[in-house]
Amino acid sequence: MTTALDELRTLHRTGRLAAAYPDVAPLLTGVTDAADRTEEQTVDELTRCGSLLTRLNPDDVLAHHPHTPVLTVAVTGHSTTAQLTDPLTAELARHGLLGRLVTGDHGAYLRDLTDEHGELRRHRPELTVCVLGADAVLEQLPPPWTVDDAEQACARLLDQLRDVADAHTAHGTGVLVLNTLPLPRGATHQIIDQRQRALLGAVWREFNARLLRLTAGHPALAVVDLDPLVAATGPATDARLALYTRSAFSAAVFAALAREAVHVLRARRGMTKKCLVLDLDHTLWDGVLAEDGPDGITCGPTPQGEPYAALQRVVKQLAAQGVLLAVSSKNDPGPVQDVLAHHPEMTLRAEDFVSVQAGWDPKDTALRTIAGQLGIATDALVFADDNPAERALIRHRLPDTPVVPLGTEPAWHITRLLADGWFDTPHVTDEDRGRTEQYRDAAARARMRGTTGSHEEYLRELGIVVRISPPRPHELLRVSQLSLRTNQFNLTGERLPPERILTEGRRPLTVRVSDRYGDSGLVGALFTRQTADGLTIDNMLLSCRVLARGIEDGCLAAVLAHARDLGLPAVRARYRATRGNGRASGFYPSLGFVPDTPGDSPETLFRHDLKDIPAPPGHLTVEADFEGDADES
């Protein structure tokens, strides 16, 4: 059987790897999607694939595929970081990203991360990973040492890392990933006083807890907690590698750290998925509904049903944080609805799902239907199914939709569902927690649309109210999230982490929408700058949930009127085409803007002279407070 590594070797040997780079991600996905592989086998093959991919020149790939997302990744650490490079390269490639890796000098991580003119900062990395092992503390200890010595060493290291986080906030780019320090048995059991040994454990864990808490005050910092990863992968270190090569971790932990770091990066780049599509038979319950009937399936507190009950509880937890849930099942619709409504063992009920597609059409049809109902692309879905034929179908027909390979052992379902962090996000907002209810409101609007006459009549009956104002401090996270997740109506495609929302002279404005069916929340933003020759709209965002209601027209009309009231001569706006925002290319011209672009500009600049300002659509009520107190809590 030909493996992904075999195919990559053939491409590399024949000089075709750069030209075939779009095929790399599906090959590597096949490695992680194989439900019958052990984790050790997966890590080994991915790492070996990464070793081969590190020999690839990114410029060669870009010569063949100029639109490949390319980013600079810096790696540094207290000890050697060589074992991180291969799995990190593989994880980037698995997600369709092309990495330019920059490696710091051995052991010089403090200089690398605090010197704003240093070599690492010069490359302006989008992701910086700093590898820290237990030796960052233990090497500071005198022989012999006491727990007090260890506590002081932990305090010094924490102060240094706080300085690192401060420096990255002030001068760094992208996101900085640190990790907690596993406490090795070889350290604890040097202390033969058992009470002192327990105290050492407390000191060490207090250090890790304080390190994790650093993220609260440093938005561009992420700290990967290694304790769960070590518990899942096995020993944190390899004694031989630790002594002979100064390697902080085992190969399995380095691979896990690489995966988590790319999850952080993926979330910061707006690649978070939105909807989990679940199979039913042998996924949410044991048994086949069409054959066994509702009394023959189980997901209750029995040895047979408990793995499915546990999975349902985890899925419910994801949904409470804003993950949308949907069903794609080869079953008749009526029995499925009955089970969701009445089966006594079900944790998940019909109201937990935004779409239930039960029927006998191919599952790619069901997934397209779900995406269409939600107004999102199929690449925002994640598909979980125990049937290898169904998974293969989705990989073939919807290659941008991630697939969770649920195997024949249901006890592993949760592990496989959570392995890739598809729904990880830098922050969960109030809008996230209410997302399922908001889509339920959208379904009510759709039902009303079917009972009204014209589209104009439908919009009038909705009673839409649009409120525009500066963001309050707690809303900056939501504004950042909109920039990361919005594709269709993101007029420049720019992604802004929270720490950049109020920089570079930006004056953001939030857009909130409500109607007769409820409050849609904070669903849009405009980024403006006032200059001597007028007002510039750097970008405009609007959630796909509220498109096609004239809300964007109302917002822009209000901004133009405000600029005219201020006596400004003109309003300028920027549009940069992306893969997802093509439908919005005519938005500015439709409201009276004319192109004002230099010939060599990669984006289109528009200008409105404010002589003829469009009125807001008649079915909207627009309430604008442009001078609101952004510092109000």
Q: How crowded is residue 213: how many other Cβ atoms within 10 Å of its Cβ?
A: 10
Residue 632: inside a domain, yes or no? no
Residue 583: inside a domain, yes or no? yes
Q: Which amino acid is at 564?
A: R
Taking the C-alpha atoms of residue 515 and residue 459, their distance in angstroms, rounded to an integer, is: 10
Among the candidates 394, 418, 442, a domain finishes at: 418
pLDDT of residue 631: 42
Cα 358–chain centre separation = 29
Q: How crowded is residue 615: how many other Cβ atoms within 10 Å of its Cβ?
A: 9
Buried b (16+ CB within 10 A) or exposed e, 32-43: bbbeebebeebb
Instruction: Kindly give the pairing relationship between strand 175-179 and strand 127-131.
Output: parallel
Query: What CATH number is attached to the domain comprising 192?
Result: 3.40.50.1110
Q: Which of 518, 581, 589 is nearest to 270 (CA)?
A: 581
Residue 33: inside a domain, yes or no? yes
Q: How crowded is residue 117: how many other Cβ atoms within 10 Å of its Cβ?
A: 7
Kindly state whether residues 374 and 445 are assigned to the same domain: no
pLDDT of residue 632: 41
pLDDT of residue 506: 80
- φ and ψ of 618, to 5 deg: -65, -20
Kindly state whether residues 60 and 74 are assigned to the same domain: no
Residue 630: inside a domain, yes or no? no
Residue 633: inside a domain, yes or no? no
Which alpha helices (H) appear in 274-419, and where do they start and end? 289-292, 306-320, 333-342, 363-374, 388-397, 413-418
Kindly state whether residues 111 and 122 are assigned to the same domain: yes
Among the candidates 393, 418, 443, a domain finishes at: 418
- Which two three-digit tokens encode residue 172? 């760094």
pTM summary value: 0.86
Among the candidates 377, 392, 418, a domain finishes at: 418
Taking the C-alpha atoms of residue 297 and residue 329, their distance in angstroms, rounded to an integer, is: 15
Kindly state whether residues 75 and 63 are assigned to the same domain: no
Kindly state whether residues 80 and 142 are assigned to the same domain: yes
Q: How far is CA 45 from CA 14, 92, 625, in A?
A: 20, 15, 57
Residue 507 · residue 280 · CB < 8 Å? no
Taking the C-alpha atoms of residue 390 and residue 378, their distance in angstroms, rounded to an integer, is: 16
Residue 394: inside a domain, yes or no? yes
Taking the C-alpha atoms of residue 250 and residue 525, their distance in angstroms, rounded to an integer, is: 45
Kindly state whether residues 159 and 220 are assigned to the same domain: yes
- Which two three-digit tokens encode residue 165? 């986080």
Taking the C-alpha atoms of residue 96 and residue 261, their distance in angstroms, rounded to an integer, is: 15
Residue 340 · residue 350 · CB < 8 Å? yes
Q: Which of 556, 474, 545, 473 is nearest to 513 (CA)?
A: 545
Kindly state whether residues 202 and 335 are assigned to the same domain: no
Kindly state whether residues 297 and 360 are assigned to the same domain: yes
pLDDT of residue 208: 98
Farthest CA pair distance, the chain: 85
DSSP characters over 571-616: EEEEE---SS-GGGTTHHHHTT-EE---TT-SSEEEEE-SSSPPPP
- Taking CB atoms within 8 Å and a gap of at least 24, the contacts of 406-411 are 406/35, 406/279, 406/282, 406/283, 407/35, 407/36, 408/35, 410/282, 410/286, 410/307, 410/308, 410/311, 410/386, 411/307
Q: How crowded is residue 583: how many other Cβ atoms within 10 Å of its Cβ?
A: 10
Cis peptide leading into residue 125 (ω within 30°): no
Q: Which amino acid is at 380?
A: A
- φ and ψ of 101, to 5 deg: -90, 130
Kindly state whether residues 48 and 128 are assigned to the same domain: no
Task: Kindly give the parts of the chain with pLDDT less than 50.
Answer: 630-633
Return the SS3 of 278.
strand
Kindly state whether residues 92 and 188 are assigned to the same domain: yes
Q: How many domains does the chain have?
A: 4
Return the SS3 of 306.
helix
Residue count (the chain) = 633
Residue 541 · residue 482 · CB < 8 Å? yes
Residue 481: inside a domain, yes or no? yes
Residue 358: inside a domain, yes or no? yes
Query: What CATH number is attached to the domain comprising 536?
Result: 3.40.630.30
Query: What CATH number is attached to the domain comprising 405?
Result: 3.40.50.1000
pLDDT of residue 600: 60
Kindly state whether residues 258 and 285 are assigned to the same domain: no
Taking the C-alpha atoms of residue 573 and residue 568, their distance in angstroms, rounded to an integer, is: 14
Given the structure tokens 């007769």, which residue do they identify?
516
Return the SS3 of 505.
coil
Q: Which residues contact 161 (CB under 8 A, 6 or more apart)?
A: 178, 211, 214
CA within 13 Å, CB half, 94: 28
Taking the C-alpha atoms of residue 229 and residue 222, their distance in angstroms, rounded to an integer, is: 16
Q: Which of 435, 410, 399 is nearest to 545 (CA)?
A: 435
Using one digit for the tens of pLDDT, what is the confidence trace for 456-501? 888 888 899 999 999 988 888 899 989 988 888 999 999 888 878 8
Q: How crowded is residue 573: how many other Cβ atoms within 10 Å of its Cβ?
A: 26
pLDDT of residue 630: 43
| Dihedral sign from CA coordinates of 517, 518, 522, 528 | positive
- Owning domain of residue 322: 275-418
pLDDT of residue 629: 52
Kindly state whether residues 218 and 123 are assigned to the same domain: yes
